[in-house]
Each structure stands twice: as C-alpha cells, then as structure tokens.
Amino acid sequence: MVNRKILLASRPKGMPDESNFEVIETTVPELQEGEVLIKTLYLSVDPYMRGRMSAAKSYAKPYEVGEPFLGGMVGKVVESKNSRFQAGQFVEGRLEWAEYNVSDGSTIRKVNPELAPVSTALHVLGMPGLTAYFGLIYIGEPKEGETVVVSGASGAVGTIVGQIAKLKGCRVVGIAGGDDKCSYLTEELGFDAAINYKTTDNLRKSLKEACPNGVDVYFDNVGGPVSDAVMSLINFQSRTIICGQISQYNLEKPELGPRVAGQLLTTSSLMKGFIVSDYAEHNKEGLTQLSQWVREGKIQYRENVVEGFENTVDAFLGLFRGDNIGKQLVKIAEE
Ligand SMILES: NC(=O)c1ccc[n+]([C@@H]2O[C@H](COP(=O)([O-])OP(=O)(O)OC[C@H]3O[C@@H](n4cnc5c(N)ncnc54)[C@H](OP(=O)(O)O)[C@@H]3O)[C@@H](O)[C@H]2O)c1
C-alpha cells in the first residue's frame, strides 16, 4: 500500500514556505506484534509545529531535516496486533503527517464516536480544548464579574477560552484579525465585545472602551503589539496567562517591546507561561468537563476543514495568514 508522508526539507528563515516541506511516497510496512495500522482521517495543523521546524531548544524536540512531521491526527484502526486496539476503532494521537501510521499504541488513545464527531478529539475535546481549560481555570482563576480578554480569540484555543470565561460569569472581550471573526465571537459565541486588531486605529483605546473596568485576566495567544496594548490596562492582582506568542514565531530577530515588570509590580499581578502537558494529570477532569459542556450545548465549536493530503502544508501556512475561524483541520479520508 502506498503511503504519502510530509518531511521537513529545510529549516525556514522567517515565514516558512512550500520549499521547506517535501512529500514522499513510501509503502506501509508489515505489522509486528504489538503494533496497530491506522488510516488517517484528519490531520491537525498547529502553530507550535512552527517552533519544531527550527533547531532552537524548546519544550518540544526540533524536527530533524529529512524526517517526517509529527502532529495530532485522528484515524481509524485498519489492522491490529495490539490487544488494546481493534480494527474499526477510532484513535487520536501524535503521529506522522502521513496517510497511514504504524503505532505501538503508546502515543494514541481511543476516541468515542458517540460522544461527538471524532474530529473534535483534535480541538474542543483534545489538546486545544485542554489548553484553554487549564490555562484559564488553573492560572487565570476567573471570578464572576471580572473582565477576561483573550487574543487569538477566534482560533481553536481562543474560542474555547472565551466561552469558558462566559460560563464563569465574566465579561469577555476577544481580539481577532477580521470583522467576520469578531461577529462570530459576539453573535454566535456570546462574547461581550470583540476588536479587530487589524483595522482599529488605536487598539488601546478600543480595548479601554470594551473594558470599562480594566482587565482582570488576559489569556495571551499572540504576544507582540496586541499584548502590549492589553498589558497597559491590567488591574490590581490581575492574571496574565502566556499560552502562545504566534506574532513572534516567524520573526528572524526578537522584537523589543515595553518592559512590563513595573506594571506587574505596581498592580501585584501574575504573569505565567505554561504548556498544556504541565497539567497532564488533570486531563481526565478537563476532558470530562469539556465533553459535558459540549453535550449540554454550552460550548460551541467550529472547524475550518481543508480537504486532501496535498493541501496539508498550505493549511498549516494559513494559520500564520489567519485563514481559519475555529480549528484548522485537514480531512484526509472519509470515516
Ligand atoms: N501553551 C500550550 O500548551 C499551547 C497549546 C496549544 C496552542 N498554543 C498556542 O496558542 C495559540 C493559539 O493556537 P491555536 O491552535 O488556537 O491556533 P489558532 O488560533 O486556531 O490559529 C492561529 C491564529 O493566530 C492568529 N495569528 C496569526 N499570526 C498572527 C499575528 N502575527 N498576530 C496576531 N495573531 C496572529 C490568526 O488569527 P487572526 O486572524 O486573529 O490574526 C490565526 O488564525 C498559538 O500561539 C499556539 O502556539 C499553546
């Protein structure tokens, strides 16, 4: 059986392009005892994968040039020599960007198709949903009546952060890069206000109007000038959650910004970075709570689905152009 895979062809300087990726054709190997053969249904493209394309030391090991990309995927077991999995089951895990994967079962989990569409295991009921939940609940500790601002608000993580904050009784203000994105947040997800950072003449002023009582919790997905504007409005004992810095991922030189230590000092505020895996011991709690909210219709989600393995790289690059509303997925095969 032919199996297409995507490899890192070269390390990008600045914004990656198609030349940094290579598609190869291999064949699916014979299964060994303990292994499972999985047909990919959906591939997840995620901003953190940009970091792994560079050789810089980070929490996730860099991809090696000439090696396949590893990322989130949902697939169907087509053959199993592992007693924990049977053919026909759906699974999610970190595997190769490929049409088929052979796994020893250690990095995959079963997905229940009766709970929600299986693709949700890559967003609201998976890593991005848990990221939103852990960051907001464990670090942000939002209280009723407080104002929560989220940047990257219309993406996979941001949409869930804002909705959880609403469930906690907060005023929620989203920052996103499009009028369509902002209307989605306010009209469909119940955000109290949303600001298009690409068109406002003065982001700080727009934020001040949207946050008349200042900012108690800032969930930062983007960094850069957007965050500078939010940080100038933080309240006494505010909490800033550093989840992502996507505005910085493709810069060749670090960008200088205002020094925020004084602001944190004079407001007795907290700023904390985190990685979703820091809270792995709470995964069951997070997934149970998120599943309940989805079942009860208290949390909505949206998928931006691109079809076809050959469009995976462009879908990934689209994250940095802001192409997606909700979770960006690539559909590889029918269930
Ligand atoms: N700490 C963790 O464990 C963890 C886990 C998952 C994700 N993350 C981080 O969380 C953030 C969101 O991830 P996601 O998966 O939910 O992605 P996403 O928000 O679904 O997609 C990326 C979005 O980022 C925005 N963006 C791109 N370039 C930007 C720029 N220069 N300035 C401002 N915004 C920009 C775009 O929306 P606009 O149109 O609004 O610009 C784009 O749609 C990322 O920074 C990611 O690295 C962290």
Q: Is residue 254 predicted with pLDDT exceeding 90?
A: no
pLDDT tens by residue, 209-218: 999 999 999 9
C-alpha to C-alpha distance for 102 and 129, rounded to whole angstroms: 26
Distance 222 CA to ligand 1 centre (A): 6
Tokens found for residue 287: 């997934």
C-alpha distances out from residue 323 to 107, 213, 317, Å: 29, 32, 9
Distance 314 CA to ligand 1 centre (A): 16
Strand partners, 174: 150, 194
For residue 246 and ligand 1, the question of a CB distance below 6 A is answered with: yes
- Which residue has its alpha carbon closest to ligand 1 atom 31? 247
C-alpha to C-alpha distance for 120 and 126, rounded to whole angstroms: 7
pLDDT band at residue 304 using 50, 70 and 90 as cut-offs: very high
pLDDT of residue 58: 87
pLDDT of residue 164: 98
pLDDT tens by residue, 53-85: 999 888 889 999 999 999 999 999 999 999 999
For residue 128 and ligand 1, the question of a CB distance below 6 A is answered with: yes
For residue 243 and ligand 1, the question of a CB distance below 6 A is answered with: yes
- Which residue has its alpha carbon closest to ligand 1 atom 43? 322
- pLDDT average, residue stretch 2-26: 97
Distance 261 CA to ligand 1 centre (A): 24
For residue 91 and ligand 1, the question of a CB distance below 6 A is answered with: no
pLDDT of residue 60: 86
Q: Are 319 and 152 in contact (CB under 8 A)?
A: no
pLDDT tens by residue, 83-124: 999 999 999 999 999 999 999 999 999 999 999 999 999 999
Distance 36 CA to ligand 1 centre (A): 32
For residue 135 and ligand 1, the question of a CB distance below 6 A is answered with: no
Residue with tokens 């493209």, as numbered in its chain = 45
C-alpha to C-alpha distance for 69 and 49, rounded to whole angstroms: 8
- pLDDT average, residue stretch 289-298: 97
Tokens found for residue 207: 């934020």
CA proximity to 310, closest of 331, 335, 334: 331
Pocket probe mutation, ligand 1, options 46, 164, 222, max atoms within 8 Å of Cβ: 222
- Which residue has its alpha carbon closest to ligand 1 atom 6? 128
pLDDT of residue 157: 98
Instruction: Tell me the Cα Rg of the chain.
Output: 20
For residue 222 and ligand 1, the question of a CB distance below 6 A is answered with: yes
For residue 155 and ligand 1, the question of a CB distance below 6 A is answered with: yes
C-alpha to C-alpha distance for 323 and 304, rounded to whole angstroms: 9
pLDDT of residue 45: 98
Distance 246 CA to ligand 1 centre (A): 5
What percentage of residues in the chain have a pLDDT greater than 90?
A: 96
- Enumerate domains of the chain plus CATH numbers: 2-122+302-331 (3.90.180.10), 127-277 (3.40.50.720)
For residue 126 and ligand 1, the question of a CB distance below 6 A is answered with: no
For residue 82 and ligand 1, the question of a CB distance below 6 A is answered with: no
Distance 27 CA to ligand 1 centre (A): 34
| DSSP assignment of 166-181 | HHTT-EEEEEES-HHH
For residue 157 and ligand 1, the question of a CB distance below 6 A is answered with: yes
pLDDT band at residue 242 using 50, 70 and 90 as cut-offs: very high
C-alpha distances out from residue 54 to 7, 9, 62, 243, Å: 14, 12, 6, 19
For residue 223 and ligand 1, the question of a CB distance below 6 A is answered with: no
Mean of pLDDT over the chain: 97
User: Which is the closest atom of ligand 1 to the Cα of 157?
Assistant: 16
- pLDDT average, residue stretch 310-330: 98
pLDDT of residue 202: 98
- Which residue has its alpha carbon closest to ligand 1 atom 20? 155
pLDDT of residue 59: 85
Q: Is residue 244 predicted with pLDDT exceeding 90?
A: yes
